[in-house]
């Protein structure tokens, strides 16, 4: 049975360049990067060069630093160890990735007051509520550039201006996992920390944290110290870093093809509007301020998880929401935060594109969905 893969927000296919880079680096360098001998020093130099290359590809501000992690989730959760994050208060929204929610829980357990800002019906952070949540005691602000479940893109520049004006001592952390390799990261928003996940940009592994400006040296010192105490924190794997950079270079080079992805987005949305729905009504989660790589919609009267399973059996790979919370029962936390009723939220489906997605993929999905609805 042929397969149509449209779950790229969960994981993207690996670029051959990334696999090749992993293998070549593994064959060239067998030394531990922490070893003091010449081979270890050579490996460290390679890792440093990869970090410099990644920062250049991302257009990061001068003086930025890279910390490598096994995954983006590991990088996010580790931020709760930053002394600069603890105490005072931390501000975020309830539509963040589960790893950000875990980071916030850890901060709360260490005495930080956590303030969750409501989002509007369109998924954007309420700007008035966001401004009121900030004050000079705010230590951490955590936001997502592109929501992994709905594709909603926050206006980081506007929110960043509020952070600088009302919370000058805050560290602005941005989850760019669904944005990197697709859109330019708006560093001018005053981003202090940004995280990227390898398997969301065509790499088989790896996570990277970019630290900027005044916080960069402190972050670098902390993770170097933690690596000596616990190798699970910030332990860099040279072949994984090589694969990550190769995938980042490839995906950044494809960013000029955004119009084609936007065309797939329109084709899917137009097709869903005219779809035989068998008494069901299709509602899009968001239609403006949204990434064309992610189309989230609900089908009233149906269970999205059941439809995703039925479509999977027919060879069409989509999801009913975030893969990181797929095992949890109940309606989507993100959709509930947007004010979508539980009965409606249960019918959510997510189709997500990558650079190798085609019109034939969209058409295959649009052909399979009515059959799933009919036999539901």
- Rounded to whole angstroms, the Cα distance separating 180 from 195 reads 9
Q: Please tell me whether residues 164 and 261 are part of one structural domain.
A: no
Q: Please tell me whether residues 236 and 273 are part of one structural domain.
A: no
Q: Please tell me whether residues 223 and 329 are part of one structural domain.
A: no
pLDDT band with cut points at 50, 70 and 90 for residue 22: very high
Q: What is the mean pLDDT of residues 51-66?
A: 93
Q: Please tell me whether residues 190 and 281 are part of one structural domain.
A: no
Q: Residue 229: its pLDDT value, please? A: 46
Residues contacting residue 180 through CB under 8 Å, at least 6 positions apart: 58, 196, 200, 201, 248, 251
| Residue range 114-163, pLDDT digits in tens | 999 999 999 999 999 999 999 999 999 999 999 999 999 999 999 999 99
Mean pLDDT of the chain: 90
pLDDT exceeds 80 at position 323: no
Contact 319, 360 (CB under 8 A): no
Runs of H (alpha helix) within the chain: 16-28, 38-58, 72-78, 98-109, 127-133, 156-166, 216-229, 238-253, 258-273, 304-313, 333-337, 342-345, 359-374
CA atoms within 13 A on the CB side of 2: 6
% of the chain at pLDDT higher than 70:
90
Q: Residue 228: its pLDDT value, please? A: 45
pLDDT exceeds 80 at position 221: no
pLDDT exceeds 70 at position 175: yes
The count of structural domains within the chain is 2
Whichever domain contains 346, its CATH number is 3.90.1150.10
List Cα–Cα distances, 211 to 14, 18, 82, 93, 187, in angstroms. Answer: 26, 24, 12, 22, 11
End residue of a domain, out of 211, 231, 253: 253
pLDDT exceeds 50 at position 182: yes
pLDDT exceeds 80 at position 181: yes
| Residue range 350-375, pLDDT digits in tens | 999 999 999 999 999 999 999 999 88
Q: Please tell me whether residues 59 and 178 are part of one structural domain.
A: yes
| Residue range 289-317, pLDDT digits in tens | 999 999 999 998 889 999 999 999 999 99
Q: Please tell me whether residues 144 and 210 are part of one structural domain.
A: yes
Q: Residue 234: its pLDDT value, please? A: 53
**Phi/psi of residue 342, nearest 5 degrees:** -55, -45
Whichever domain contains 174, its CATH number is 3.40.640.10
Domain range for 345 is 4-12+256-374
| Residue range 255-286, pLDDT digits in tens | 998 999 999 999 999 999 888 766 567 899 98
Of 89-98, 177-186, 220-229, which gets the smallest average pLDDT?
Answer: 220-229
Residues contacting residue 19 through CB under 8 Å, at least 6 positions apart: 204, 243
End residue of a domain, out of 225, 253, 281: 253
Q: Residue 212: its pLDDT value, please? A: 87
Q: Please tell me whether residues 192 and 340 are part of one structural domain.
A: no
Q: Please tell me whether residues 97 and 228 are part of one structural domain.
A: yes
Contact 73, 99 (CB under 8 A): yes
Contact 43, 31 (CB under 8 A): yes
End residue of a domain, out of 206, 238, 253: 253
| Residue range 283-292, pLDDT digits in tens | 999 888 999 9
Closest CA to 292 of 262, 336, 251, 316: 262
Q: Please tell me whether residues 314 and 233 are part of one structural domain.
A: no
pLDDT band with cut points at 50, 70 and 90 for residue 220: low
């Amino acid at each position: 049975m042929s397969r149509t893969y449209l779950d790229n927000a969960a994981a993207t296919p690996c670029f051959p360049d990334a696999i090749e880079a992993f293998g070549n680096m593994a064959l060239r360098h067998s030394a531990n990067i922490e070893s003091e001998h010449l081979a270890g020093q050579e490996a460290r130099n390679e890792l440093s060069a990869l970090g410099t290359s990644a920062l250049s590809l991302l257009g990061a501000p001068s003086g930025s630093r890279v910390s490598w992690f096994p995954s983006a989730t590991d990088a996010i959760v580790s931020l709760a160890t930053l002394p600069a994050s603890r105490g005072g208060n931390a501000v975020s929204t309830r539509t963040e990735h589960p790893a950000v929610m875990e980071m916030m829980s850890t901060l709360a357990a260490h005495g930080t007051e956590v303030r969750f800002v409501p989002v509007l019906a369109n998924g954007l952070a309420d700007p008035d509520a966001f401004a009121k949540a900030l004050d000079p005691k705010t230590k951490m602000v955590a936001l997502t550039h592109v929501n992994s479940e709905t594709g909603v893109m926050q206006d980081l520049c506007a929110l960043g201006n509020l952070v600088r004006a009302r919370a000058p001592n805050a560290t602005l952390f941005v989850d760019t996992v669904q944005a990197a390799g697709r859109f330019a990261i708006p560093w001018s928003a005053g981003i202090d920390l940004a995280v990227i996940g390898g398997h969301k940009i065509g790499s088989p592994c790896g996570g990277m944290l970019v630290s900027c400006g005044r916080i960069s040296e402190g972050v670098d010192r902390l993770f170097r110290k933690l690596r000596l105490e616990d190798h699970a924190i910030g332990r860099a794997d040279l072949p994984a870093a090589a694969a990550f950079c190769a995938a980042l270079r490839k995906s950044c080079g494809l960013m000029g093809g955004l119009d084609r992805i936007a065309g797939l987005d329109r084709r899917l949305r137009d097709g869903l509007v005219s779809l035989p729905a068998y008494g069901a009504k299709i509602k899009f989660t968001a239609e403006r301020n949204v990434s064309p790589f992610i189309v989230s919609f609900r089908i009233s009267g149906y269970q999205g998880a059941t439809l995703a399973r039925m479509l999977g059996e027919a060879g069409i790979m989509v999801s009913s929401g975030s893969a990181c919370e797929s095992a949890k029962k109940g309606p989507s936390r993100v959709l509930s935060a947007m004010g979508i009723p539980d009965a409606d939220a249960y019918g959510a489906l997510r189709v997500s594109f990558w650079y190798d997605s085609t019109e034939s993929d969209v058409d295959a999905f649009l052909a399979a969905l009515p059959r799933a609805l009919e036999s539901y």
